[in-house]
Amino acid sequence: MLKYIAGAMMMAGPAMATGLEIDVAGEASGTIVIELFETVAPQHVERITTLAGEGAYNDVVFHRVIEGFMAQTGDVQYGKLGGDMRRAGTGASEEPDLAAEFSQVPFDRGIVGMARAQDPNSANSQFFIMFADGHFLNGQYTVVGKVVEGLDVLDTIKRGEGPNGAVIGVPDVMQTVRVTE
C-alpha cells in the first residue's frame, strides 16, 4: 500500500487512499489492481467502493469489449454471470445516477472511467478500462482511477464480436472485487 501512495505522490497525480483488486476469470485469468482517485471523483469512487464492499460487482461480466479501445463492466443489475446477456450493459444499481465529475486527467491506457448514457449525469455502477489512449473522451466522462497492476490481464480479456462490442458467448467475469486501503 505504501508503494502506491508514494508512487502517486512522486508522479504528482491524484492522491490515493482506496483501490480495487479485481480477480478476473474466463479466457483471461489474474488480478487487476486499480488505484482510485478519491480527490478527482469523490462521489463516483464512493459509489464504486460501496458496491464492491457489498459484493455487488462479484460475478459481473465484461459485457462490452472493443479491441484497441476499452473493456466495460459493472452492470450489477443485468450483468451477472449466467444472466440474460442480451440485457447486460443496460442496468444499474438501485442508487440514483451521479452528477458528472469531469477532470483534466487524460484517458490514457489503463485509465478507469465511468460509463454513462447520453446524459453526462447518468453514471451509476458501470465502468470501463482503457486498452489504449482515448483522448477524444477527455472532459466527456468521469475518470475514477487507473490500473497499477494487471495490464497484462486486461489485455487478455475476451473481445466483443457483436454489435457495439458486445461479447458473444461466455464473457470474462469479475469473479471477486475487493476494496483495498
Alpha-carbon dihedral 106, 111, 115, 153, rounded to 10 degrees: 160
pLDDT for res 16: 43
Instruction: State how far the alpha carbon of 108 is from the alpha carbons of 48, 96, 105, in Å.
Output: 20, 28, 9
pLDDT for res 164: 84
pLDDT for res 84: 81
Walk along the chain (181 residues) and give the pLDDT tens digit of each residue.
Answer: 333 333 333 343 444 458 999 999 999 999 999 999 999 999 999 999 999 999 999 999 999 999 999 999 999 999 998 888 889 989 999 999 999 999 999 999 999 999 999 999 999 999 999 999 999 999 999 999 999 999 999 999 999 988 888 888 899 999 999 999 8
> Which domain range does residue 12 map to?
2-180
Half-sphere exposure of 27 (CA within 13 A, CB side): 15
Rounded to two decimals, the pTM is: 0.90
Using left for φ > 0, alpha for ψ between -120 and 50, and beta otherwise, residue 146 falls in beta
**CATH (domain of 8):** 2.40.100.10
CA-only gyration radius of the chain, Å: 15
DSSP annotation string for 109-165: TTEEEE---SSTT-B-S-EEEESS--GGGTTTS-EEEEEEE-HHHHTTSPPP-SGGG
Domain count, the chain: 1
pLDDT for res 17: 56
SS3 content of the chain, % helix, strand, coil (to 5): 15, 30, 55
40 C-beta neighbours (distance < 10 Å), count? 20
Burial grade of 12 (CB within 10 A; 0-12, 13-18, 19 or more)? exposed
